[in-house]
Structure formats: C-alpha cells, structure tokens
C-alpha cells in the first residue's frame, strides 16, 4: 500500500496500480463497502493494464486500515454494513479529494484525473464532482445520491451515472429524483439498466450480469476516453494473441477440455450467438466443452484466418471455418443428424480478456448459410446464400448483389 499524506498530517493508505507506460491519465477508484478487497484490486489492475495510473484510497482507514471483506460471506456482509453505518461521508469525500490531488502530483500521471466509484464509492464519486475538480466522474449504482442533489449546482465536470432498475438501495422514487434533476443537464448523463439489481457489475456477485456489466464498462471507457485524453495503453502488457491461440489449440488440436478451461477465468462465459449454445461459469462450461463442443468437432475441421484486431482488453478474429458434417454437432446443429456435406462459413470471434485469461467469447456466424450448404434450407426461395458467403470474404471477384438481381428478375416475371 502507498501512503497519502493528508492536509492534517495524517497518512491514508491507498492501493496504487501503475500502467506499463507513463505518464498516463489518472483514475481515482472508489471502493464499495467491503474495503480494498480482491474485487477492487482486480479492477484497479485492469484499468492499469488499459493505461491508467490508478489510486484506490482505503476509505475505512480511520476505523481500521486494510479492511478486506468478501461480499458473498454473511459475516463479512454484516461487518461491511456496520462500517457503512458509522462512515463519515464528508471525511470520505475529502479523502477522495486527497487521492485526486495525490494522483495529479505524480510523475506517472499526465495531470488529467477522473474517478470511478461503486456503491458507497458511487455516491462519493458524485460528491467528488460537486466538491473537488476531477476531469470526469463515473458512478456505478451510487447509494444516496438523491439526498445530495442540492450540491448538483456545483458540478463542473462530466458525470456518468449507471443506475440499476431493480436496485433496492436506489428505489424507483430515488431514480425519479435523479432523472428530474439531471435529464436536462449538459454535464450529467444517466444510463438505466432495466431489470438489473445493485452490484450488477461485481464479478462473481449474486447480482452479477455479464452483459449489463460489459455495456456499463464500455460506456465508462468511452467517458474516460473522451474526457481524460486516453487512447488506450501504448504497450499491451499481455500477449492476447498468444493466449487466444493457446486456448484454440486446446479446443481443436489437443482437444482437452481441462486445459481449455485453464485458459479462462472461473466466471467466464461463452455465447455462440446463432444457436445460444455455450455456458456461464466454470461448471456450465466444463459440461459444455467436455460433452457438447470438443468431442463434437468434425475431425477435418480447419480455420483459415482472415483478419485480427487487438485492443486493450479484447481480440477480434475473423476467419473461414470449414468442416465436413460427419458427426453430430450440438453446439452448432443441435438435433441434426450428420449429412456428410461440406460446410464453409465466415465466422467472427470477439474475445474479452481479464488479466492473462479469457473472460468471455461471443462467436458469430451465418446459420442460414450453414443450413443452405447442408440442404436444409431452400436458397432458391429465400434471400439467403450458401458457400458464396465464405468465398466472398476471401475473393472480392465473387459477384455482389446476386440476391438483389434475382429479386429484380422476380418482379419482372
């Protein structure tokens, strides 16, 4: 932990995560009621990998430095609420301001500093915007912001509020107050997440929703990019290409589901978009990979790379996926007996990483093209194509607009 000297001479501990290159935009990461636990350290490290200088102040230091509680543990949960009940928000907001000043003073920071807070930290992030001078602020399901709307007039920076529709700590009446106060604001934006509960972005938590969490994260990154001058880490500290290729090797070459799962975080999920096959979490993915995916991959399966794009936390692979339908393939063709026919399709994999492991995969392909090539869908009567869709990706000379030309002929006949 790093010591931050306060104006009264006291010392506040803080977890600091530095990026691989500097100077970098700064980020004050503001904790939930569980202290600087693994969840907060993981978030700090993830933002550092993206290219931020991250300072996460220990807000319970006056009560007991080093609080580290598990949100899923009943005893820890009671302890957390007790800490919250006795917590002085004014002192906490001042501590966040000190963390902001500290970040700006560091040689590793460009001087542009934003804040991201969760739960208790979501409220303090809002107060940071009203009482101090961050360059932007993001609040995840902040608790009690509606009680401090009289300070909204003092906001001088962009503020993004992520509001969970089913949050018991921010009920509909409170949400209505937020919208009434900020819907016409030029500085404050509210993103609503219908059907989501408090802490929907806490990985592994009871209310964790990967899709809502991902959407909120993308909106957060966009806010930080627009207002902190951040363009992403100039040096990718983790070799995502190597991690992905190792994962694919275990799937398609050694065909070992245990090794495959070792490349993924425990809370990972896989979604094959056209068929909704895959799974969420280690138990479900163990079942899927060991029974429905790896053993049901045709022996002549091959992949032709087309393009690859690598970002700060994800990889996008475009490829041509080829196989002969000689075995049942529940992951792609559930309930369809082998036809013995050859299939070639364009396929895109969007892979998100958390640290040095895969966090989720979204896999897309044209299911209509697969069914046409297997003789299960009539392309002469529907606006669908067969193997031509894959051929066109690799060869621009394949004619365009064939379906439009056919439709024109039908209109004239």
Chain centroid to Cα 164, Å, comes to: 16
Whole-number Å distance between alpha carbons of 135 and 133: 7
Q: What does the block give as tokens for 273?
A: 């978009």
Catalytic one of 58, 95, 135, 167: 167
Which positions ≥6 away from 111 have C-beta within 8 Å?
A: 23, 26, 104
Whole-number Å distance between alpha carbons of 152 and 23: 32
Whole-number Å distance between alpha carbons of 35 and 76: 11
Catalytic one of 198, 247, 352, 360: 198
Q: Return contacts of 229-232, CB within 8 angstroms, 24+ apart.
A: 229/25, 229/110, 229/112, 230/24, 230/25, 230/50, 230/51, 230/52, 230/112, 231/51, 232/50, 232/51, 232/311, 232/312
Does 132 participate in catalysis according to the annotation? no
Does 405 participate in catalysis according to the annotation? no
Whole-number Å distance between alpha carbons of 238 and 50: 11
Which residues does residue 318 pair with via DSSP β-bridges, in sequence order? Answer: 307, 348
Indicate which residues carry an active-site annotation. 167, 198
């Amino acid at each position: 932990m790093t010591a931050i000297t306060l104006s009264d001479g006291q010392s506040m501990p803080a977890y600091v995560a530095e990026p691989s290159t500097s100077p970098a935009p700064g980020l004050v990461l503001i904790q939930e009621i569980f202290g600087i636990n693994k969840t907060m350290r993981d978030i700090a490290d993830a933002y550092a990998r993206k290219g931020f200088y991250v300072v996460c102040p220990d807000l319970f230091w006056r009560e007991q430095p080093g609080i580290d509680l598990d949100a899923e543990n009943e005893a820890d949960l009671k302890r957390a609420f007790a800490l919250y009940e006795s917590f002085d928000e004014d002192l906490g907001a001042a501590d966040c301001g000190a963390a902001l000043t500290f970040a700006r003073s560091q040689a590793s920071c460009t001087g542009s500093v934003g804040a991201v807070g969760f739960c208790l930290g979501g409220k303090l992030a809002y107060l940071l915007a009203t009482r101090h001078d961050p360059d932007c602020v993001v609040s995840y399901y902040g608790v009690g912001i509606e009680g401090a709307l009289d300070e909204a007039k003092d906001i001088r920076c962009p503020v993004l509020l992520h509001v969970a529709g089913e949050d018991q700590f921010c009920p509909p009446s409170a949400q209505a107050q937020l919208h009434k106060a900020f819907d016409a604001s030029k500085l404050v934006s509210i993103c609503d997440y219908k059907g989501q509960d408090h802490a929907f972005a806490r990985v592994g938590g009871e209310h964790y929703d990967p899709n809502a969490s991902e959407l909120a994260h993308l909106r957060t990154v966009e806010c930080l990019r627009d207002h902190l001058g951040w363009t992403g880490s100039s040096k990718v500290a983790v070799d995502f290409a190597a991690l992905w290729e190792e994962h694919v090797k275990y799937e398609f070459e050694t065909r070992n589901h245990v090794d495959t799962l070792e490349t993924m975080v425990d809370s990972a999920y896989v979604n094959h978009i056209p068929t909704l096959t895959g799974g969420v979490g280690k138990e479900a993915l163990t079942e899927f990979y060991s029974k429905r995916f790896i053993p049901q991959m045709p022996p002549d399966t091959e992949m032709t790379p087309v393009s690859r794009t690598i970002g700060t936390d994800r990889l996008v692979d475009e490829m041509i996926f080829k196989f002969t339908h000689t075995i049942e393939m529940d992951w792609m063709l559930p309930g369809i007996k082998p036809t013995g026919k050859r299939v070639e399709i364009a396929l895109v994999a969007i892979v998100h990483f958390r640290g040095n492991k895969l966090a989720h995969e979204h896999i897309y392909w044209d299911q209509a093209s697969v069914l046409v090539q297997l003789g299960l869908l009539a392309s002469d009567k529907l606006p669908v194509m067969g193997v031509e869709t894959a051929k066109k990706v690799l060869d621009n000379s394949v004619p365009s607009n064939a379906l439009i030309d056919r439709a024109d002929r039908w209109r004239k006949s």
